[in-house]
Structures are given as C-alpha cells and as structure tokens.
Amino acid sequence: MPTTNVKTIGGTTPDYATIALWEAAIPANLITTDEIWRGECRDVTFSEADVALGSGVTTDATRYPILTREAGSNWDGTIANGPVVDEATGTATTNGYGLLIDCDFFRVVGIRVSNSQTKNTGNSSMWACIATSAGPGADSTIAQCICHDANPTDYRTYALHHVSEPTSADTYNWLNNQAINLGASGDRARAIAPAWWMTGITMNMIGNVVFNSDWASGFGMYVGDDGGSACTANVYNNVMFSNGGGVGYVTAGFGSSTLNATNNGSSDTTTPGTSTFNSLTQATELVSVTGGSEDLHLDSGSTILGDGSDRGTTPTLVEIDIDGYDRDAGGDTWDIGSDQFGKPAAAVAFWVNRRTHKNPLFTLLRR
C-alpha cells in the first residue's frame, strides 16, 4: 500500500510557500518511491500562474500527486472561502493558465482558481483556470473545484480545457466542478471545453455547474469530437445557466464517436441526450446569483432536486459533491449539479482512493 506523503502549502510555516515549490519537490518516480504525494493548500491566496503540475513525474493509478485543500479548511463550496490561485499580476501572454496538469493520474481537488488582472492580446489568445496537457495528463481528475471571475480582456476564457489534443485512448475526469463569471463582457467565455481534435479518448464530464452573467459568443459546455474519431463523451448531471448571449451546450458532430448524455439541464434549450431539463431559471434553482456572492448550491425551491443520474463510484470521486459529501455512502437520490441538497452539518471523510486503500486523508465540516 502506498505511503501518503502530506505537505502543507502557503500560510504560516508551511512545508512549501508556493504551489510551484511543492510541485518541484515531487519525486520523479512515485511508483519507485511507492507514494501518493499530497499537497494541502492553506486558506490563502496564491498569486501564481502557469504552474505546471507533475511535469516529468512517473505515476500510476495508485501512486500519483494530488493538490487539494488543507484539513480544517473553511471551504464551503462557494467563491468566498478556501484556497485560491489568482493570477493577480503578470504580463500578457499568447496563452496561459492558472494550473496545468502535466502528468498522468494527477488529481486537483477542492481548489479555487481566478484571474483578477486585465490582459489584452487579442481574441486568438486563450486563458484557462485549470488546463490539462495531452499525453502527460491522461487519466487525470479535476474535482470539486471552483473556477471564477477570470476576466483577462480579449481572451477566450475557459474553466477547464485541454491545451493540446490528446491522441490516445486515455480518460479525463471533470467531476462536480463550478464555473462562475468567466470572460469579460464581449469576450468568448468557453467554460468547460475539451479539445476534441483527438482520437480514442474518454471524457467524463459529470456534475458540473456553470453560471455566467454573459457568455457573449461563448458556451457553457462543449460536447463533440469536432474532427476526432472513436471518442466517448459521458455527460451526466451537468447544468448550465446564463443571463446573456451564447448557449448552454455546443454539441458537434460525432461521426464514429459516442455521446452518452442524460439528466443534464440548462437555462436554454440546448441540453443534449435524454431526461433533459431545459429553460431553467437560475434564481429559482440556485442559492444566490448576486454578483460577488454567487452560491451555486441548489436552493430549497429548485425544480431539479432528486433528478440526477446515480453514477455510483465510477469514476473515482464522482460521488463526492462540492462540499465533500459522499452521495453514494449516504444512499441519496442524486441531485443534478455539483451539490447534494439538504445534508445536515456533519463530519465528512475524504479518501485518496476510498474503496481501494481505506485510508482517510482529512475531515472537514460540511456547510
């Protein structure tokens, strides 16, 4: 059984002052050292950007790095609390990102990523809150993260994105994340967008919620192979909200690829698949859509409570909601979106691979 090597990041007397320093200390071969290399971010702002995570590190399904929040974090599944990576300063670049997953099996769990600076390099440029490399980055997971208020001017702004096109039969898991207010007015916000010029990959996009005041010419989620082949897209329990232009979902031609989509929703009528929920009203469904205090937990008056598709425990972490609640262990009828509504305040255990290693990593109080 691998040893879990826990290191604190940021705040007072941490093991590493920055995420970049923690990343640089990851052993080159976690299979050889037989470790899970776990970085726990304190509840501070990390003024970092273009941080490549795990570059050159050898991993497998049971020995990998994970970047997450510290035990005892004040995380409550909103934009107000928990650790945040914010590129508050920096120079304009052609493309950029907050965090880049750059090795196989890497996990980013329960981190906020933002971008409060203004850049201007033209609409051919891209900025992503959390990006994934092709090749390195396969079989990786982004879960319970909140990407918000990323407004670099004249950028195509993404919450989750591939920086290049995967070309092998790999799996990417984007689970129970939130994207809030991406792209300045008039820009092209493309919240959850795999790069689909690829062959043979599996994309698991499950339980994600997108809220934007104005998508302009953008979209909430991109679903399609767009020139690739033999891909599989598993799209379940997502919901897209917008006040302005753009569309909830863009579904491109699939050709030889496969789309499995059910129990998704949108404020417009673009929801793909079966058991769809269209024309949703964000003020009815969500706790708060007030600028600066958005809260994408489901409200008590939501019309989509209990309307999710039970995904069990595959892929790993799919059952853990934005607050850390285990829907599967709780025996709940699943809600759509990143949050399971109405759970009482209780201690919630987190696990590296709960059903394989049986070793709890940390406990926090659910909101």
Instruction: Kindly list the domain boundaries of the chain, sorted by start residue.
Output: 45-57+87-351
Confidence (pLDDT) at 72: 84
Cα separation, 92 vs 117, in Å, equals 10
Put residue 159 in one of left, alpha, beta given phi > 0 → left and psi -120 to 50 → alpha: alpha
Supply angle C-alpha 151, 154, 190, rounded to 5. Answer: 65
CB 159 within 8 A of CB 128: yes
DSSP-derived secondary structure for 216-240: BT-EEEEES-TT-BS-EEEEES-EE
Q: Give kind and range of the element (H or E) at residue 357.
A: helix 354-357
- Residues 242 and 189: their CA atoms lie apart, in Å, by 11
**Assigned token pair, 18:** 């920055």
SS3 11: coil
Residue 365 is predicted with a pLDDT of 35
Closest by CA position to 78, among listed 192, 209, 166: 209
pTM for the whole structure? 0.91
As a whole number of angstroms, the distance between CA 115 and CA 315 comes to 29
Q: Which residues of 300-316 are buried (b: 16+ CB within 10 A; e: fewer)?
A: eebebbebbbebeeebb
Tokens for 7?
A: 């290191």
Q: What is the pLDDT along the chain (367 residues), one digit of tens a residue?
A: 999 999 999 999 999 999 999 999 999 999 999 999 999 999 999 998 889 999 999 999 999 999 999 988 889 999 999 999 987 665 555 677 889 999 999 999 999 998 766 555 555 567 788 988 867 888 999 999 999 887 666 567 788 988 766 667 788 999 999 998 876 555 567 788 886 556 778 889 999 999 874 556 678 888 866 666 778 889 999 999 875 666 788 877 666 778 899 999 999 999 999 999 999 999 999 999 888 888 999 999 999 999 999 999 999 999 999 999 999 999 999 999 999 998 643 334 443 333 333 333 333 333 3
Residue 359 has a pLDDT of: 35
Backbone torsion region of residue 116, taken as left when φ is above 0, otherwise alpha when ψ lies between -120 and 50, otherwise beta: alpha
* Beta carbons within 8 Å of 184's beta carbon, 6+ residues apart: 151, 152, 153
pLDDT for position 357: 34
Nearest to 256 by CA among 230, 283, 232, 234: 230
pLDDT of res. 16: 98
